[in-house]
Chain A
Amino acid sequence: MIRIDSVTKRYPDGTVAVDRLSLEIPDRSITVLVGPSGCGKTTTLRMINRMVEPTEGRILLDGEDVQRRPVTALRRGMGYVIQNAGLFQHRTIADNIATVPRMLGWGKQRARERAAELMERVGLDASLAKRYPYQLSGGQQQRVGVARALAADPPVLLMDEPFSAVDPVVRKGLQDELLRIQDELGKTIVFVTHDIDEAIKLGTMVAVLREGGRLAQYAPPAELLSDPADAFVEDFLGADRGIRRLSFFASDALELTTDPVVPADAPAERLTAAGAPYLLVTDADGRPLGWRERGSTGGTERLLPYGRPFRPGTDSLRAALDCAVLSPTGWAVAVDADGRVTGVVSQQTIGEAIRSAHTAAGAHSAPARGEDEKVAG
C-alpha cells in the first residue's frame, strides 16, 4: 500500500504545489488524482517515485519511507506512463519495451520475449516490434508506453495524464484496454488526469484536488457523484452528475414487459389488439425491426426507428434511460447478447427503478450542499 502522509511541496519561490495532502492508496486498484491544472496532481505523483522530493511529510510504500530506498531501485520497481508516451524515438518498439528489463540485467533473449509478450497484452501487432516510434500512431505509441511500464512486472504503475493527447475514440479504446489489463494483472495504479469523466470511469477511488494542492474529496466515484463534498467538487463534476451517477446502477432489476412485442408475421388481430399505443415489431429471429403505431398499417418499411437497444446486466441504468430518451416512443428496447429482444421498458418504469436504486444506495435525495450555497449566492 502507498500512504501519503501529510505531504507538502513548497518551492523556493514560495509556491505551494501540494498542501498537507494525506491519502491511502489501496493495493491492486486504480486510484485517480483529478483536478484543474495547478492542483498539484502531477507533483504528487512524482513524489511517489521521488522525481520530486516533498518539503514536509512522507510517503510510505508498504510501510517504508520512499526516502530510505535507493532512488534507481525505487523507480525501476514502479512503471511510469506519461502523456505522449515519451518513447525513445531512437529505439525500436521492442527495445523501448525492454528498457527496464535490460537495465535490470536480463539477457537479450529473455527481454525480447518479454517485449513480445507485452505487445500482445496491450493489443499491438507483433510486426511492429522492429518499427520505430515515428512509424506508429499516437494511440499505438501510448500502448507501447503502457507495455514499457509493465515490462519488469512492477507492482506499482504511475500514470501521468497518459491518454490526454489522443483523440476521444482512441482514448476510450485505451481506457477500456487499461481496465481489461488491470482485471488481468491487478496492479496498484495511481492515475493522474484533469478529465473527471476519465476519473469516474477508471477510478476505484478518486481524489479530487483543488488549486494550491489541497484535497477536496477522496471517495469512490459513485459517492463523489451522489455526495460531492462542497461547491468546488460539485462544479468540477459538471452539470449532469445525476445522470452520470446512473452508470453505477445495474439495469438488470428493471421490470421488462413483452406485451407490446410482436413478430412481423403475427396474425393481424394481434397487431390491432387493444393495449399499449405502440408495438415493437421483430423479425423471425426476434431481433427488433421498429415500432408500429397502433392502428397504422403497411409493411416493415413504415416502422419507426427503435434507437439503440440496451443489454440488461451489462449496461447500466444510464444506458437504459438513454435508450428510452432516444426512442421516439419513450420505450427502451432490451436485447440479449445475440441482439434478440428480451422485452421493452418505459421511461416511467426506469424512473421508478432509479428512485428505488437511490433509496437502496442510501443516497441523499435532498439537494447537495453546494446547490444550497449557489442558490444563496
Chain B
Amino acid sequence: MNGFFDIPSDLQHSWAGLIGVHLREALLPVAAGLLLALPLALLCNRFRWLYPPVLGVTTVLYAVPSLAFFVVLIDWTGQTELTVMIPLALYSLVVLVPAIADGVRSVPDETLSAATAMGFGTVRRYLQVQLPIAAPAVIAGLRVATASSISLVSVGALIGNQGALGNLMAAAQKYDRPELAANAVLTTAVLAVVCDAALVALRRVLTPWMPRSGRKRTAAPREELLTKGAAR
C-alpha cells in the first residue's frame, strides 16, 4: 500500500482534490442533463409525434464516442473540464428523457383529468402533479445517468489531465506505479456506490406517499434503457 495515496505532483491535486474534481465533472453534466430533459420530456408528452425523433437523436448522440466530441469541442472550449462535461451531459439525455417522459406518462388519466378539472394549467400540472408522481422514475433514471457519468469522466485524461481520477491511470502508466491505477478504479467505484445510495435516500425522502413494500402504482423507466445505460 506504499504510495497508494501518494499522488504525483503533475496532477496538481491531492487525492481528496481529485475526488472533488471527479464529482464536479460527473455530477454537473447530470444536473445539466436533467435541466434539459425536463422541458424536452414535457414537449414530448404534449406533442406525441416529437417523442420518437427526440429519442432517436439522444440515442445517436449516445453512440458518438466521447473522443469524437473532444475533437470537435476542443476548438471551442479548449482542454478544459467543460470539454469533458458537454458530452457527458448529452449522454445523460438518453436515459433521462425517456425516464421522465415515461414516468410522467404513467400518471393515471383520472389524476390528470381531476387536475385539469380543478383548474390546473399545463405547466402547473406538470410541475405540481406529474413530476412529483414521476419522481421515483426520474430518480431511477438519475441513478443510471450518475453511475454512467462517474465512470465516463476518466476519458478526460485523453485531453490533458481533465479526467480527474482517470488521470491517475495515465500516471500509473507513466510512472510505472500500478497502485495508482488500483486507487483510481476503487475510488471511482466507491464514488458511484455512494452517489447511488444518496439518490436512493433522496427518493425515500421525496416519496413518503409510496407504499413501502411493492411499488405497483409508480413508474419505472423502461428496462432496456436501464441496461443500455449500464452497459456503457
Contacts and interface: CB of A to CB of B under 8 A. Distances in A.
B121 A89 contact: no
A82 B117 CA distance: 10
Contacts of A2: none
Q: How large is the interface on B (under 10, 10 to 19, 20 to 34, 35 or more residues)?
A: 20 to 34
A55 B208 CA distance: 44
Contacts of B65: none
Q: Identify which of B117, B209, B211 gathers the most chain A CB atoms within 10 Å of its CB.
A: B117
A103 B226 CA distance: 38
A100 B114 CA distance: 11
A133 B209 contact: yes
Interface string B93-117: 0000000000000001011111111
Interface in A77-102: 78, 80, 82-92, 99-100
Interface residues of A, number: 31
A82 B113 contact: yes
Interface string A57-79: 00000000000000111111010
A89 B215 CA distance: 12
B191 interface: no
A158 B119 contact: no
A160 to B, nearest CB: 8
A92 B207 CA distance: 11
Contacts of A84: 108, 110
Contacts of B207: 90
A337 B231 CA distance: 74
Q: Is the interface of A mostly helix, strand, loop or mixed?
A: mixed
Given A76-B118, A132-B208, A90 B113 contact: no
A329 interface: no
Contact of A80 (B114, B135, B208, B217): B114
Contact of A83 (B110, B120, B211): B110
A89 B110 CA distance: 11
A72 B117 contact: no
A86 B119 contact: no
Contact of A85 (B110, B117, B119, B129): B110
B170 interface: no
Given A83-B110, A87-B114, A88-B111, A72 B209 contact: no
A100 B210 contact: no
Nearest to A160: B113
A191 B89 CA distance: 50
B117 A87 contact: no
B118 A103 contact: yes
15 contacts: A51-B117, A74-B119, A75-B118, A75-B119, A80-B113, A86-B114, A86-B115, A89-B209, A89-B217, A90-B209, A99-B118, A103-B120, A133-B209, A134-B211, A158-B117
Given A72-B121, A80-B113, A88-B111, 16 more contacts: A51-B116, A78-B117, A80-B114, A80-B117, A83-B110, A86-B112, A86-B113, A88-B115, A89-B111, A89-B217, A90-B129, A90-B133, A100-B118, A103-B119, A133-B209, A134-B217
